[in-house]
């Protein structure tokens, strides 16, 4: 228990007395330390919570000077003043100006009798603080023993329940994407909105740090879990006291050990799932029923799936945002993603047979193994494997169409080339994976995951082209319209007409103007540009230029734009 001022007053051996009627809330102040000072301005030497003792050797007796002295001590953080009395000392009783100043400032003023030395008061304070620290340690040890005993049970919840019972602080374990795995409460409650922000922040940093904040008066804290890479997140809801705070590292270690234990325990299932993926891909023409049955056997029930291919070359040194360290799976045997630490989750790595020495995989191969484990953690069904590719190992995965695979890649494979195949029926997933692999070069060029879609030839051109060059091309085609009166209207009308396939009525409805207005604007645009809408080449040039403009201004600010979403800049003076 903390040492309060009332506890010192209750000790008969100290014989301390108050000099005025001190309110109960002031008597409840916590005393952190005791110190002696006869300086006229002791405030700057205090840290807060001190019992400041003085014999008043330099204490001024003018009311204004007394108020200044008391104010300096209070602003320095003193919890209480104590004046030593006795023979040979400046005061045999508390002077009235000092008492009034202390009462006005709300700072308790005590007197210490002649027969009680200041060192006795100091020892009493520090003995009480030592007892407090000893009690905190005993509580911390007891809590740690309870947690350790709970860790011998099955699962995460026994540890979380023991933690909550011992500390009064709620706890939950979530996977790296923020999905709940276990909670200290019997019934799960929705997480505060601010908790999701904290979870995302810590997950993005991997094992490199925690975060805390306060939401609606409740303290939230997130700690990363895992040994060598991120396996989960611990969310604490409440304010741990000193004893509980000292146990947090032990709780993190025990929860991390449990998550690592689950990963190792599920190794046979991970191997089975990777082998199942290899079997599915080895059949060039599987029946629809067989393909669906194979996916459903691992819990992947989506009607349509897509293939994903990731190259590990973007993870220097074998590290990803989700964590670091070797995956720990051997080569020369087929392994894969396994069952989840929670419903619909999986965790593991995949490795296919290789030729040549495999005891010392290179950096790229090690990075692929790490990323395969991290990706499998977030992929329902756990169909993930690592295969040899050029220039190095790549990761292949099969995921449901509804999964936000871009979020998963951003979290677990940042800066890594990745191809996302189109959604297909399960029996055609080989085709989706092949298309995903073909997009790795596009992803490298665009520095972002590339996704296969229908009618994306123009998008490919725009993504691969130099931004300044593309916008320069658009300016050369649309520049005359930029300089014309109402040029923005002409460009917008031209873009709408091209996007509707030259449909006059559809264009007029989209723009909210009469179709004759549309025709007049386009006639004016063609006169200014010297183009013809019935000429295929001119029509393509105009369409491509408007698409480039719709993509926004180049990063360098060139190309005749003002950076406001493709809107043309006003012409310079003299033009």
Asked if residue 68 is part of any domain, the answer here is yes
The residue from 230, 246, 264 where one domain ends is: 264
Residues 11 and 85 in one domain: yes
Q: What is the predicted pLDDT for the residue at 526?
A: 92
Asked if residue 318 is part of any domain, the answer here is yes
Examine residue 354 and say whether the peptide bond preceding it is cis (omega within 30 degrees of 0). Answer: no
For the chain, what percent of residues have pLDDT higher than 70? 83
Asked if residue 560 is part of any domain, the answer here is no
Q: What is the predicted pLDDT for the residue at 196?
A: 86
Q: Are 255 and 173 in contact (CB under 8 A)?
A: yes
Q: Are 419 and 439 in contact (CB under 8 A)?
A: yes
Residues 111 and 183 in one domain: no
- DSSP strands (E only) in 44-85: 50-54, 80-84
Average pLDDT, the chain: 80
Residues 488 and 523 in one domain: yes
Q: What is the CATH number of the domain that holds 173?
A: 3.30.450.40
Report how many domains make up the chain: 4
Residues 296 and 441 in one domain: yes
Residues 157 and 260 in one domain: yes
Residues 26 and 104 in one domain: yes
Query: Where in the sequence is the domain holding 285, given as residue range(s)?
Result: 266-456
Asked if residue 405 is part of any domain, the answer here is yes
Do the strands 50-54 and 80-84 form a parallel or antiparallel pair, or are they unpaired? Answer: parallel
Q: How confident is the model at residue 316 (pLDDT cuts 50, 70, 90)?
A: very low
Residues 82 and 108 in one domain: yes
Q: How confident is the model at residue 464 (pLDDT cuts 50, 70, 90)?
A: low
- The predicted model gives 71-83 an average pLDDT of 95
Residues 260 and 271 in one domain: no
Q: What is the predicted pLDDT for the residue at 536?
A: 86
Q: What is the CATH number of the domain that holds 503?
A: 1.10.10.2840
Residues 418 and 433 in one domain: yes
Asked if residue 449 is part of any domain, the answer here is yes
Residues 329 and 447 in one domain: yes
DSSP for 211-278? Answer: EEEEETTEEEEEEEE-SSB--EEEEEES---HHHHHHHHHHHHHHHHHHHHHHHHTHHHHHHHHHHHH
Min mean pLDDT across 58-62, 376-380, 450-454, 517-521 is at 450-454
Task: Answer whether 0.75 is exceeded by the pTM.
Answer: no
pLDDT at 535 over 70: yes
Residue 80 pairs in a beta bridge with 51
Asked if residue 559 is part of any domain, the answer here is no
Residues 398 and 471 in one domain: no
Residues 474 and 392 in one domain: no
- The predicted model gives 190-216 an average pLDDT of 85
The residue from 213, 230, 264 where one domain ends is: 264
The residue from 246, 264, 282 where one domain ends is: 264
For residue 281, give the nearest of 154, 437, 107 by alpha carbon. 437
Q: Are 37 and 54 in contact (CB under 8 A)?
A: yes
What does the pLDDT look like over 93-108, one tens digit per residue? 999 999 999 999 999 9
Q: Are 375 and 384 in contact (CB under 8 A)?
A: yes
Asked if residue 150 is part of any domain, the answer here is yes
Q: How confident is the model at residue 389 (pLDDT cuts 50, 70, 90)?
A: low
pLDDT at 575 over 80: no
Half-sphere exposure (Cβ direction) of 31: Cα atoms closer than 13 Å: 29
Q: What is the CATH number of the domain that holds 68?
A: 3.40.1390.20
pLDDT at 255 over 90: yes
pLDDT at 395 over 70: yes
């Amino acid at each position: 228990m903390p040492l309060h001022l009332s506890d010192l007053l209750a000790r008969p051996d100290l014989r301390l007395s108050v000099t005025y009627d001190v309110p109960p809330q002031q008597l409840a102040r916590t005393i952190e330390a005791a110190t002696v000072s006869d300086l006229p301005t002791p405030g700057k030497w205090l840290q807060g919570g001190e019992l400041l003792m003085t014999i008043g050797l330099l204490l001024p007796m003018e009311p204004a000077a007394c108020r200044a002295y008391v104010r300096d001590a209070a602003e320095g953080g003193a919890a209480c003043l104590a004046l030593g009395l006795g023979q040979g000392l400046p005061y045999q009783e508390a002077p009235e100006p000092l008492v009034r100043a202390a009462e006005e400032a709300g700072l308790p003023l005590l007197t210490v009798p002649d027969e009680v030395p200041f060192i006795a008061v100091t020892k009493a304070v520090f003995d009480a603080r030592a007892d407090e620290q000893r009690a905190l340690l005993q509580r911390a040890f007891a809590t740690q023993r309870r947690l350790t005993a709970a860790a011998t049970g099955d699962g995460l919840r026994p540890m979380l329940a023991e933690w909550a019972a011992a500390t009064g602080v709620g706890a939950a374990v979530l996977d790296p994407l923020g999905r709940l795995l276990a909670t200290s409460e019997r019934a799960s409650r929705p997480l505060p909105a601010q908790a999701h922000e904290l979870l995302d922040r810590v997950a993005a940093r991997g094992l490199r740090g925690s975060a805390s904040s306060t939401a609606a008066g409740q303290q939230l804290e997130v700690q990363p879990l895992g040994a060598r890479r991120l396996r989960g997140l611990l969310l604490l809801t409440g304010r741990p006291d000193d004893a509980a705070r000292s146990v947090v590292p032990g709780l993190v270690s025990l929860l991390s050990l449990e998550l690592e234990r689950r990963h190792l325990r599920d190794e046979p299932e991970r191997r089975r799932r990777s082998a199942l993926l290899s079997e599915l891909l080895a059949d060039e023409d599987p029946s629809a029923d067989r393909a669906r049955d194979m996916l459903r056997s691992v819990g992947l029930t989506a009607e349509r799936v897509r293939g994903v291919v990731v190259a590990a070359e973007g993870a220097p040194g074998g590290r990803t945002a989700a964590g670091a360290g070797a995956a720990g799976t051997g080569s020369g045997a087929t392994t894969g993603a396994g069952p989840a630490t929670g419903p619909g989750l999986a965790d593991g790595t995949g490795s296919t047979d290789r030729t040549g020495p495999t005891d010392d995989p290179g950096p790229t191969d090690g990075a692929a193994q790490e990323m395969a484990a991290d990706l499998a953690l977030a992929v329902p069904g756990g169909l993930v494997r690592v295969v040899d590719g050029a220039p190095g190992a790549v990761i292949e995965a099969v995921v449901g169409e509804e999964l936000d695979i871009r979020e998963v890649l951003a979290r677990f494979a940042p800066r890594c080339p990745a191809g996302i195949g189109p959604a297909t029926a399960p029996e055609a997933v080989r085709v989706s994976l092949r298309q995903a692999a073909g997009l790795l070069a596009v992803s490298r060029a665009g520095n972002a995951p590339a996704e296969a879609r229908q009618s994306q030839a123009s998008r490919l051109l725009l993504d691969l082209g130099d931004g300044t060059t593309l916008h320069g091309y658009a300016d050369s085609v649309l520049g005359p319209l930029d300089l014309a009166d109402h040029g923005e209207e002409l460009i917008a009308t031209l873009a709408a007409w091209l996007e509707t396939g030259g449909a006059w009525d559809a264009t007029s409805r989209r723009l909210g103007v009469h179709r004759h207005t549309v025709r007049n604007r386009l006639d004016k645009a063609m006169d200014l540009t010297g183009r013809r809408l019935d000429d295929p080449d001119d029509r393509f040039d105009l369409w491509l230029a408007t698409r480039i403009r719709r993509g926004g201004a180049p990063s360098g600010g060139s190309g005749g734009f003002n950076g406001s979403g493709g809107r043309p800049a006003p012409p310079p003076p003299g033009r």
